[in-house]
Amino acid sequence: MVDGVALENAIGRYWKAAIIGGGLIGLEIAAALKARGFSKVYLLVRRAILRAYLDEDKSKRVEDIVRENRVELMLPTKIDNLASKEGRKLVSLTDRELEVDFVFFATGC
């Protein structure tokens, strides 16, 4: 419960986020942030959305739904570096750099 309250307090101050992981928690966080009015939500996925649960066809359908909800899906992607700069977070990918307010790790175990 304490973690949930801390997250609620933190996300109210920000507008851009990167979520690392395409499982159930990553999708839930992406939906919650968009519902709260975040202007930019990046979902960074290494292989496929919900790959532990869905076959390729169903995973592609979920990808379409994610994009329809204005979440910027980056798939497949590789994170080269994470850094902080003037209170912001820099996520360096192979082909570009994202500047966000916070990074949420939803990579599972």
- In sequence order, the 6+-apart residues with CB closer than 8 A to the CB of 78 are 46, 93, 94
Average pLDDT over residues 84-109: 92
Q: Which residue has the tokens 């909800």?
A: 69
For 30-62, write each residue's pLDDT tens digit: 999 999 899 999 999 999 999 889 999 999 999
Domain boundary assignment for the chain: 2-105
Quickly name the fold that domain 2-105 has: FAD/NAD(P)-binding domain (3.50.50)
* Cβ 50 vs Cβ 62: under 8 Å: yes
- CA-only gyration radius of the chain, Å: 14
Residue identified by tokens 């395409």 is 22
Check whether 87 has a pLDDT greater than 90: no
pTM for the whole thing?
0.89
Q: In this model, does residue 2 exceed pLDDT 80?
A: no
